[in-house]
Amino acid sequence: MRLKLFSSGISYKQSLNLMARMIRYFAPYKFRIILAMFCMLIVAGATGGSAYLVKSAMDDIFIRKDLWALSIIPLIYVGLDFVKGVARFMQNYMMQYSGLCVLETIRDQLYDRIIRLPVRFYEDNQVGMLMSRIINDVTMIRNSMPSLVMMVRETFTLLGLMVVVFYQNAELAFWAIFVLPIGLFPFIYIGKKLRKLGRRSQGKIADISVFLQEIFSGIRVVKAFATEKEETARFAEENERLVKISLKQTIYNELSSPVMEFVGAVGIGFVLWYGGKQVIDGNATPGTFFSFVAALAMMYDPVKKITGANNEVQRALAGAERVFEILDSEEIFEQSEGSVVFNEPFESLVFENVTFSYNDSHIALDSVNLTVRAGERIAIVGPSGAGKSTFVNLIPRFYDVQSGRILLNGRDLQEYTLASLRRSVALVSQDTFLFNITVRDNIAYGDKESSDDSVFDAAKKAFAHEFILDLPEGYATVIGERGVKISGGQKQRLAIARAIHKNSPLLILDEATSALDSEAERIVQLALENLMLNKTSIVIAHRLSTILNADRILVMDKGKIVAEGRHEELLQTSALYSKLYKLQFLANETE
């Protein structure tokens, strides 16, 4: 499920399909859009009317010297401009309102789509890249909205002015507009280049987002190894590549305007020669000619604006491609789930010939069979890479088994809804994650209806209440990203308090004390005992006390359960367990 950036251009047919996909999002706002379109027609009509007034102004005021025309034509011109201003404001507001609502919908759908994807998706794709899709790519679409509005409005204006020039002099208009198709070739070519560069630019921005997320998350390692200079150089290289792409975008963007201006100059130059000849020959009045020239000059302005707006829209299409790659991809799918809601007491958890691998070359679990009964405390031991964490990660369906099945209370895990299944499991791991919210909200995470008393009680059982009260704002203290403002032992106790508050019937502890010093571990171990009270527990063991208190100990090696029993029994029957006991557990207790 790894995302791939588009490496080659897409056809205009695909572009039209992409735009059609976007347009469907505007359906709920069709009345506002219809009103905006009506306002665009008013703007186009007012612009054409202003051009037509040039004929009356020239012939009636400057040649015939008509005083009535002198008093009325300026008022008409001012009135047209006022109507055009009001219509343009209404059109812009309606389109911007609709556009912002659509982009809110797209961003919400994109986030909702991504957050529902399985854990493996996040392992295959970098967090910074996903952030770039939600923030940068959608923002690029947002920034193109004024340009898209301009394209539509100026198209209407262009059509209105074309009516005026053809009405004034159809023959001359035909030859003047004949040069416009010449400008379409650079228009299309530059549009393709800008879209391709837009994709590369968004890809590079995503790379930089990934880089920054990685460096800032690992800032302690950077500081510890004093590699600030090297990381600055790496960032400068990435930034330089982005600048080079941006410079190419600037070149093509700035080329479009001079090209269209030159095409317009050719047309106007021909009109001046041919139209002037008609006036000299007496076949046209000066007013008609200047009205025609004014309309023609005004017509080339929307052409130029449409070209510039198209450049922005092409860049937005690059962002839209990347957004809809996630929204519409058939290769990216949400995890399947059943319809049964788990809301009953825990009875049993059964592994039947469960096999799982992260890739085809390495089997993490191999035909595992196990039954966990209600109230049992199961300890899992084994060397690194034996499959211990994989084993427990299959229970809340962070991954799905590839063969065999796991039964909870006699039902396959896949028959339950994911939400109810995961609410029935509390997980505390060595890699404690806390959100950058208050202490209280971290403990009550996932339960908006929780009372303060339930939160305080959970904190007390986790031996966290006292140090929380010593924080600057107590339970209202925002603890910082990933809990950086508190110690490792304190973070672990908050994670235990969160698990206690969740009150799930099945508890999983994944080496929850392995990263703590002896004093912090002693307190955390007491908190864990409170957590495991009256719970069914599966514990990846790290300390001797854990395995001594277990009802059963599972010894894992190379994805298999190679031995099972109590501590004294396994010391006699399992060479691997005896070795682990002497090298790891006994050594830890001695320390």
Q: Does any domain span residue 223?
A: yes
**What pLDDT is recorded for position 187?**
66
pLDDT at 413 over 80: yes
CA 288 vs. chain centroid, Å, equals 56
Mean pLDDT across 274-303 = 70
**What pLDDT is recorded for position 340?**
92
**What pLDDT is recorded for position 412?**
93
**What pLDDT is recorded for position 359?**
76
Question: With pLDDT > 70 as the criterion, what percentage of the chain qualifies?
Answer: 81
pTM, rounded to two decimals = 0.70
Q: Does any domain span residue 429?
A: no
CA atoms within 13 A on the CB side of 421: 24
- Give the residue, 555 or 58, on which the prediction is more confident: 555
Q: Does any domain span residue 170?
A: yes
Rg, C-alpha atoms of the chain: 35
**What pLDDT is recorded for position 371?**
93
pLDDT, tens digit, for every residue of 90-135?
888 888 888 888 888 888 888 888 888 888 888 777 777 788 788 7
For residue 455, name the pLDDT band (cuts at 50, 70, 90): very high
Q: What does DSSP assign to residue 431? A: S
pLDDT, tens digit, for every residue of 496-518?
888 888 888 999 988 766 555 56
Highest mean pLDDT among 136-140, 244-248, 259-263: 244-248
Mean pLDDT across 248-252 = 82
**What pLDDT is recorded for position 179?**
59
**What pLDDT is recorded for position 5?**
43
DSSP-based helix, strand, coil % in the chain, nearest 5: 65, 10, 20
For residue 156, name the pLDDT band (cuts at 50, 70, 90): confident
Q: Does any domain span residue 161?
A: yes
**What pLDDT is recorded for position 586?**
61
Mean pLDDT across 506-531 = 72
Question: With pLDDT > 90 as the criterion, what percentage of the chain qualifies?
Answer: 13
How many domains does the chain fold into? 1
**What pLDDT is recorded for position 369?**
94
Highest mean pLDDT among 133-147, 149-163, 455-469: 455-469
CATH code for position 276: 1.20.1560.10
Q: Does any domain span residue 428?
A: no
Q: Does any domain span residue 304?
A: yes
**What pLDDT is recorded for position 341?**
93
**What pLDDT is recorded for position 535?**
86
Query: Please, are residues 537 and 544 in contact by the beta-carbon 8 Å criterion?
Result: no
Which residues, in sequence order, are CB contacts of 315 under 8 Å at separation 6+?
140, 144, 194, 195, 197, 198, 201, 249
**What pLDDT is recorded for position 182?**
63
Tokens of 460: 């007390």
**Dihedral through CA 31, CA 33, CA 34, CA 37, nearest 10?**
160
Could you tell me the CA-to-CA distances from 103 to 35, 292, 488 in Å, in that order?
Answer: 20, 42, 40
Q: Does any domain span residue 257?
A: yes
Find the range with the poorest average confidence among 31-40, 178-187, 232-241, 268-277. Answer: 178-187
Query: Please, are residues 386 and 331 in contact by the beta-carbon 8 Å criterion?
Result: no
Mean pLDDT across 267-290 = 69
- Give the residue, 447 or 351, on which the prediction is more confident: 351
Find the range with the poorest average confidence among 240-244, 389-393, 587-591. Answer: 587-591
C-alpha span between 560 and 370 (Å, rounded): 11
Highest mean pLDDT among 28-32, 130-134, 261-265, 358-362: 28-32
Q: Does any domain span residue 534?
A: no
Mean pLDDT across 545-560 = 86
**What pLDDT is recorded for position 411?**
92
pLDDT, tens digit, for every residue of 376-408?
999 999 888 888 889 999 999 988 898 999 999
**What pLDDT is recorded for position 68?**
84
Average of per-residue pLDDT values in the chain = 80
The whole domain housing 141 covers: 12-328
pLDDT at 324 over 50: yes
**Dihedral through CA 194, CA 301, CA 278, CA 52, nearest 10?**
150
Which residues, in sequence order, are CB contacts of 150 under 8 Å at separation 6+?
305, 306, 309
Mean pLDDT across 520-547 = 78
Find the range with the poorest average confidence among 54-68, 461-475, 509-523. Answer: 509-523
**What pLDDT is recorded for position 7?**
39
